[in-house]
Amino acid sequence: MARTVARSGRLRFALVLLGFVVVASVIVLRRTYGIAASREIQAMETRRSGLDAERARLEADIRIASSRARLQPIAEQRLGMHVPTEDQVVYLTREAPPSRAKP
């Protein structure tokens, strides 16, 4: 009888211990997953801000490369072009589009 009680007590203790280990493992796993996700978000955030910075730099490069200050000397020196005098500029009057006849 006493041996049965002792066995039952050990079993209960083992079950409690197992339950504790399982719960603790879940907590640790959840935390590990959270930290891993946090790292991933941080890496992606860094990449995003890096891409934003890269985009800003490329846009600035395009602006400078297509600016008048850069293109005009090239057009004048390499292509022999010049800024037209004001009497060389012709204003074309755009006609209003014809209105569609209703059926």
Partner 1 sequence: MHLALALFALALLGRAASVQLLQGSRWTASAQHQQSIETTIPAPRGDILDALGETMAQSRETVKLEVAPRDVRDRRALRTALIRAGVPPDWAVRATDTARKWVTLPGRYVALDVASIIATRGVHATSTIERAYAFSQGTRRIVGRVDQNGQAVDGVELALDSLLRGVPGAVTTMRDGRGRRFESPQSERRAPVQGKTVVLTINHELQQIAERALADAVSRLSAEGGDVVVVDPMDGEVLAMASQRRDPRATAATALTEPYEPGSTLKPFIAATLLERGLARETDVVNTHNGEFEINGRVITDEHPAASFSLADVIRYSSNIGIVQFAMRLSPREEYEALRDFGFGTPTGVPYPVEASGTLREPARWSKQSAQSLAMGYEIAVTPLQLAAAYAAIANGGELLEPALVKEVRGPDGRVLYHHRRRVVRRVLSPDVARRVRRLLLGVVEDGGTAKLADLQTFTLAGKTGTARRTVHGRYAPGQHIPTFVGLFPAEQPQFVILVKLDNPKGEYYGGLTAAPLTKAVLEAALASRNASLDRGTLAATRQDPPDTARSARAPLDAAAAAETLRTAAARETARALAADRAARDTDGTTPFVATLPAPRAARAPAAPPRAVPDVTGLSLRQAVHALHAAGFHVQLERGAVLATAPAAGSLAPAGTVVRLAVGS
Binding footprint of partner 1 on the chain (CB under 8 A): 34-35, 37-39, 41-42, 46-47, 49-54, 56-57, 59-60, 63-64, 67-69, 72, 83-93
Looking at beta carbons only, is 20 or 76 nearer to partner 1? 76
Looking at beta carbons only, is 5 or 96 nearer to partner 1? 96
**Smallest separation (angstroms) from partner 1 to the CB of 74:** 13
Q: Are 88 and 94 in contact (CB under 8 A)?
A: no
CA torsion through residues 83, 86, 87, 89, sign:
positive
Instruction: State both tokens at 78.
Output: 């390499």
Q: Report the Cα 81 to chain-centroid distance in Å.
A: 43
Phi-psi region of 101 (alpha: psi -120 to 50; beta: other; left: phi over 0): beta
**Smallest separation (angstroms) from partner 1 to the CB of 6:** 21
**Smallest separation (angstroms) from partner 1 to the CB of 5:** 24
**Smallest separation (angstroms) from partner 1 to the CB of 60:** 5
Looking at beta carbons only, is 22 or 60 nearer to partner 1? 60
